[in-house]
């Protein structure tokens, strides 16, 4: 993000955004199906660390809060300390409950901001969007991105890459892109396999990128 203004997500309580530099905020609820609120705050009025943390407050409407182990992410204050300009898609190579379990395990050393369940498109938020979760296998890319995990296995697309999951994930992706001004294209919505230096292959060759991008645009 360039210039004097930066964009971040206000954490909302009863419709009130909890903001640093109170009074400086101009709230503008986005259209295009966004469930979040875009908040513009002049940077000189921002005081690091003043934004309140609300345990259990999800940033995507309808998600469940299932907190990851603190060993699997690090606290940050994005997008103030790091610009967020990428969404990285993953496939868990496990079922949804197993993914939640391992992301809650302090020994796993990885998690994601969100996990999408195949059967019904239900979404768990496991790490706050301001925080840097270890998901991309690349420090700089962890710092610049949100991670969305999809339940399933890369070689069983018919079973796991359901229309419901595509649509649920695309709505989440559209919401994130809208709130952080991330362009909806393949430069900014990427697979784990495209992260520099990774040896991971997810979401795999059967992930339908054209379909996903189209659904994100339709949801946006």
Chain positions contacting Zn ion, by CB under 5 A: 90, 192, 200, 202
User: Within 10 A of 210 (CB to CB), how many other CB atoms are there?
Assistant: 8
Distance (Å, whole) CA 180 – CA 196? 22
- Of the pair 40, 71, the CB lying nearest Zn ion is at 71
- Of the pair 83, 94, the CB lying nearest Zn ion is at 94
The least CB distance from residue 137 to Zn ion, in Å, is 8
- Phi and psi for 200 in degrees, rounded to 5? -85, 155
Distance (Å, whole) CA 215 – CA 220? 8
Strands 86-91 and 189-191: parallel
The least CB distance from residue 107 to Zn ion, in Å, is 18
38-73 per-residue burial string, b: 16 or more CB within 10 A, e: under 16: bbebeeeebeeeebeeeeeebbbeebeebbbbeebb
- Of the pair 90, 130, the CB lying nearest Zn ion is at 90
The least CB distance from residue 186 to Zn ion, in Å, is 17
The least CB distance from residue 142 to Zn ion, in Å, is 12
- Of the pair 83, 198, the CB lying nearest Zn ion is at 198
């Amino acid at each position: 993000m360039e210039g004097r203004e930066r964009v971040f997500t206000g954490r909302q309580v009863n419709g009130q955004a909890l903001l640093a530099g109170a009074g400086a905020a101009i709230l503008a609820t986005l259209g295009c199906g966004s469930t979040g609120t875009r908040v513009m705050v002049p940077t000189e009025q921002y005081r690091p660390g003043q934004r309140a943390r609300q345990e259990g407050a999800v940033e995507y409407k309808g998600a469940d809060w299932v907190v990851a182990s603190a060993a699997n992410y690090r606290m940050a204050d994005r997008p103030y300390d790091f610009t967020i300009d990428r969404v990285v898609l993953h496939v868990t190579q496990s079922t949804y409950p197993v993914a939640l379990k391992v992301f809650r395990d302090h020994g796993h050393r990885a998690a994601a901001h969100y996990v999408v369940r195949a059967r019904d498109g239900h979404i768990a938020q496991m790490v706050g969007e301001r925080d840097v979760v270890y998901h991309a296998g690349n420090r700089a890319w962890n710092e610049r991105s949100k991670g969305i995990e999809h339940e399933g296995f890369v070689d069983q697309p018919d079973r796991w890459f359901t229309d419901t999951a595509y649509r649920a994930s695309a709505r989440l992706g559209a919401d994130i892109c809208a709130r952080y001004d991330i362009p909806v294209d393949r430069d900014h919505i990427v697979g784990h396999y495209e992260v520099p230096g990774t040896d991971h292959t997810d979401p795999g060759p059967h992930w339908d990128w054209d379909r996903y991008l189209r659904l994100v645009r339709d949801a946006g």
